[in-house]
Amino acid sequence: AESIQQAKLLLGENRFDICLTDMRLGDGSGIDLISYVSEHYANMPIAMITAYGDVQSAVNALKAGAYDFVSKPVDLGEMRQIVQRGLLLGADNGKSAIGNSAEADEHSQPLPEALARLEREQIRHALESCRYNKTKAAAQLGITFRALRYKMDKLGME
């Protein structure tokens, strides 16, 4: 959608698993869209990806309900991680909204644990697809070799 109005129409007519928005839209700010989505579609994860990012904009987006704020340009590996985190958050929200909420709460994880699990899965997948070549896996993930080694150590991976 190129505008907040168009986004609202699409949200009313379709079901989306995740929302990605820019800071600048044709008729307003992406923060306004984040506030709208947070209010009307509370279980839909929303992230802001923008070329006009600064610390205050990031804080405002997160306060409005975004789960992530990323400055452009975004590489493919980082975009995949943003979407996968959002889908994970949306799936967790969906479990709480559907069925027995006590049962869902019993099986849900706090956000840091869920993100660590997701990060561990991403690293494992990258390593497998690169035949355990850490240099190639780091490049696929869009991080440095050193950052990959640090993350693997932090997550208890060998």
pLDDT, tens digit only, all 158 positions of the chain: 999 999 999 999 999 999 999 989 989 999 999 999 999 998 899 999 888 767 788 888 888 999 888 888 888 888 888 898 888 888 766 543 333 333 334 444 456 676 777 788 889 888 998 999 999 999 988 889 998 998 899 888 97
User: Is residue 20 within 8 Å of residue 80, measured between CB atoms?
Assistant: no
DSSP state of 73: P
Q: pTM for this structure?
A: 0.57
- Rounded CA-CA distance 46/19 in Å is 5
